[in-house]
Chains A and B, each alone.
Chain A
Amino acid sequence: MNIVWLGLIVLAVLTAAIRGTMPEVSSAAFLSAKSAVELAIGLIGAMALFLGLMRVAQDAGLVQALARALRPLFRWLFPKVPADHPALGAIALNIGANMLGLGDAATPMGLKAMQELQELNPDKETATDAMCTFLALNSSSVQLVPAMVIGLRVAAGSHNPSEIIIAAILATTCSTVVAVLAAKAFSRLPLFRQDDPQGGQAA
């Protein structure tokens, strides 16, 4: 993350110096900072709503039932997370919300899952294998109906806005499978190994 973050800024300032876009870059820095806070504050509403709902589902035993149903898959994905741990329930809800394209619901559940996974983490500054697998799963998009882009296609006057659904499901299945397998395989590389004190720094 350090290299990526610094890299983006270095590239931005260098390009701006050559192309004379420094005024734009300067105002973009302030605008982005402002919109980041607005975004986070805006998330609080959805976060409170869905975490509240999730607590009700948890108290009623629904989340645990969902996690139990997915146990075989979760045992392979997250071998170090105990089978009855609340993290798995939150993960199941996050994936479910993502599949349905409910981004507003998926983020609160995902953040809740990270908190639960962090409880199992012996080194609070370094990501665990389970966290990395979960992130890879999350950032490879598992949604079944890309509602946003279908909306754009409708607005652009497409003759068949939903014709891309099957293709998108095929493509996103590929990306999810590769991301998860990569997360599993990379976790064994010396560069990323958890017990290596220098290991995590590279990313």
Chain B
Amino acid sequence: MKDFLNAAAHWVVPLLLLGIPLYAYAFRKIRVYESFIEGAKEGFWIGVKIIPYLVGILVAIGMFRASGAMDLLVGLLRPLTSLVGFPPEALPVALLRPLSGSGTLGLISDVFKTFGPDGFIGRLVSVMEGSTETTFYVLAIYFGSVAIRKTRHALPASLLGDLTGVVAAYIVCRLLF
């Protein structure tokens, strides 16, 4: 299963890169190279346009993480989460997840080193990683790319989704493992 999934993951992109232009050229008579270049041109400007938004959000998140404020937050929330039996060791992962994808992967590696990947905590943080997203990053670049400033209910709805992901991960792990 694992080997199959790994192999399949390596096949997806090359097959798309082969299949789509081949179909377009053979069946639709599209000038595929010119068409590709037209689309690719847009990539540069989108990349440049999101820079200020990305700098803004990543600087705030970077400062927050470096200050150690995360530890304070974990300390504040710990009494609440331990009421329902949520392991405090998994709490930093849950809190960091919407802020930083690479930071979360780092924390998860630490959890694996300390508690092993196959214990309850190891499985819980694994499932949490799969059921949540780096919400702030996604919001910053998606809205940034079209210069939307008033984001209305996008952030609260997304954060509620992340919270649900954490709670659901905990419940599912309790039931399955």
Taken residue by residue from 148 to 181, chain A's Cβ proximity to chain B (1 for < 8 Å, 0 otherwise) reads as 1110111111111111111111111011101110
Contact B42 A141 (CB under 8 A): no
**B-facing mask of A7-38, CB < 8 A → 1, else 0?**
01101111110010100110111011101110
Cα–Cα, bound, A118→B143 (Å):
10
Q: A37-B55, A124-B147, A139-B139 known; A48 and B40 CB under 8 Å?
A: yes
List of 5 A-B pairs having minimum Cβ-Cβ separation, nearest first: A55-B39, A179-B161, A200-B150, A32-B62, A168-B130
Taking a contact as CB atoms under 8 Å apart, the answer to whether A15 and B67 are in contact is yes
The answer, yes or no, to whether B21 is at the interface (CB within 8 Å) is: yes
Q: Are B142 and A110 in contact (CB under 8 A)?
A: yes
Partner of B150, one of A13, A48, A201: A201
Contact call B47/A186, Cβ cutoff below 8 A? no
Stretch at the interface among A39-47, A67-75, A78-86: A39-47
What is the interface of chain A, defined by CB distance below 8 A to chain B? Answer: 1, 4-5, 8-9, 11-16, 19, 21, 24-25, 27-29, 31-33, 35-37, 39-41, 43-62, 100-102, 105, 107-108, 110-112, 114-115, 117-118, 124-127, 131-132, 134-136, 138-141, 143, 145-150, 152-172, 174-176, 178-180, 182-183, 186-187, 189, 191-192, 194, 199-201, 203
| Given A56-B36, A61-B28, 4 additional A-B pairs, CB 8 A | A28-B66, A29-B62, A111-B145, A158-B122
**What number of B residues sit within 8 Å (CB to CB) of A?**
100
- Cα A58 to Cα B30 with chains together (Å): 10
Is there contact, CB below 8 Å, between A192 and B62? no
Cross-chain pairs A/B with CB under 8 angstroms, 8 sampled = A5-B56, A11-B64, A36-B55, A43-B50, A59-B24, A127-B150, A141-B131, A167-B172
The answer to whether B30 touches A56 (Cβ under 8 A) is yes
B142 touches A101 (CB 8 A): no
Contact B161 A178 (CB under 8 A): yes
Establish whether residues A146 and B60, one from each chain, have CB atoms under 8 Å apart when the complex forms. no
